[in-house]
Amino acid sequence: MASRDPVADLRRIAFLLERANEATYRVKAFRSAAATVARTPPAELAERAAAGTLAKLAGVGDVTARCVTESLAGEEPVYLRRLLSTEGADLPAAAAALRAALRGDCHVHSDWSDGGSPIEEMALAAADLGHEYFVLTDHSPRLTVARGLTAERLRRQLDHVAELNEQLPDGFRILTGIEVDILEDGSLDQEDELLARLDVVVGSVHSRLRDDSARMTRRMLAAIANPHLDVLGHMTGRKVAAPGAGDAAHRTARTRPPSTFDLEKVLAACVEQDKAVEINSRPDRLDPPKRMLTVAVEAGCRFGIDTDAHAPGQLDWQGFGCERAALCGVPADRVVNTWTAGRLLEWTASHG
């Protein structure tokens, strides 16, 4: 039997585990093994598979060695087959149509901040999903727990992205961006000059989420009025118990109620300034809640249906956002990432 590509099989397994929101260490085992196998000459791999010494390679363990052996023998690895057999059900029709209309993703992290994978791997996975672009939105300086990028590191990232864009497959492009912290006074946590240079700016509240409604409303309105901000990220900051990611008690311990603010005023400001409200697709966020999303549709808001992915497999979470958007009647033509990159950039440039 012709052998399969063991690197592709290991990466596919990692992708499916990430999509299922499995613990990072489990996914890492497959991504490190894929990196090692990619570096090892094919003849050595074949010898080691025959001699049963694959697991002696750094980064390869018993489980991943078995996958490689099966793959080299031309069999679909049992581990992969099991994951594929438990893949989620198809999206309902309206959500599937919305998902099919999406050309990109406006909220994606890399290992430059708190993501788990290099920008290039994220880009290749997004291209595989059929995206034409994503916006790279690593965190801003004050979010030190997430290794937020200083102005200097962000400048270096911009150079790096320009180089990557030269090498990536035709038809896919990384747009530059940031998930910038909305600070307590509503200002944005990065230099103006840099914010002006970026293609897309997502602004999110990550601190003092329990502030009273008046204070939080002032803070959000100031950020929305800032010409650099294009998309308001996960507007309530809530955390919900997502499937996967540990046991039930652990998941519940990590939940957080939505913050409180004057929803009508915030939505009206988004409409008036022509800014988009993010529909965050992460299973542990699903933000805004459906009742608020319905109000936002009625208010006439634009939306971005984004993943906030921190690993390649999480780029496939857009379906969750589409399902909620479809349930709440979000029209496709009001979703900014159904647009081409060109149209998206015209829109962000219109904010000044």
Q: Shortest approach of Zn ion to residue 234 CB, angstroms?
A: 6
Q: Tell me whether residue 307 or residue 338 sits nearer to Zn ion (CB atom).
A: 307
Question: Of 6-14, 24-32, 114-122, 196-204, which segment contacts Zn ion by CB under 5 A?
Answer: 196-204
Beta-bridge mates of residue 200? 177
**Residues numbered 66-85 forming contacts with Zn ion, rule: CB under 5 A:** none
**Local structure of 208: helix, strand or coil:** coil
Question: Of 16-24, 177-185, 210-218, 341-349, which segment contacts Zn ion by CB under 5 A?
Answer: 177-185
Burial of 256 (0-12, 13-18, 19+ CB in 10 A): middle
CB atoms within 10 A of CB 127: 18
Q: Shortest approach of Zn ion to residue 138 CB, angstroms?
A: 8
In whole angstroms, what is the distance from residue 240 CA to residue 257 CA? 8
Q: Shortest approach of Zn ion to residue 314 CB, angstroms?
A: 11
Q: Shortest approach of Zn ion to residue 94 CB, angstroms?
A: 26
Q: Tell me whether residue 308 or residue 323 sits nearer to Zn ion (CB atom).
A: 308
Among 179, 199, 230, 287, binds Zn ion (CB under 5 A): 179
Q: Shortest approach of Zn ion to residue 223 CB, angstroms?
A: 13
Question: Dihedral (C-alpha) 186, 140, 300, 287: value to the nearest 10 degrees?
Answer: -110
Among 113, 117, 176, 204, binds Zn ion (CB under 5 A): 204
> DSSP code of 55?
G
Task: Copy the structure tokens of residue 109.
Answer: 């992290």
Q: Tell me whether residue 80 or residue 182 sits nearer to Zn ion (CB atom).
A: 182
Burial of 39 (0-12, 13-18, 19+ CB in 10 A): exposed
CB 287 within 8 A of CB 238: yes
Q: Shortest approach of Zn ion to residue 306 CB, angstroms?
A: 9
Beta-bridge mates of residue 173? 133
Q: Tell me whether residue 179 or residue 323 sits nearer to Zn ion (CB atom).
A: 179
Q: Shortest approach of Zn ion to residue 310 CB, angstroms?
A: 8
In whole angstroms, what is the distance from residue 133 CA to residue 341 CA? 7
CB 202 within 8 A of CB 177: yes
Mark residues 251-290: x for contact with Zn ion by CB under 5 A, - for none. Answer: ----------------------------------------
Among 105, 189, 199, 308, binds Zn ion (CB under 5 A): 308
Sign of CA dihedral 218, 224, 229, 234: positive
Contacts of 227 (CB under 8 A, 6+ apart): 351, 352
Q: Tell me whether residue 77 or residue 312 sits nearer to Zn ion (CB atom).
A: 312
**Interface with Zn ion, residue 318, by CB under 5 A:** no
> Residue numbers of the site for Zn ion (CB under 5 A)?
179, 204, 308
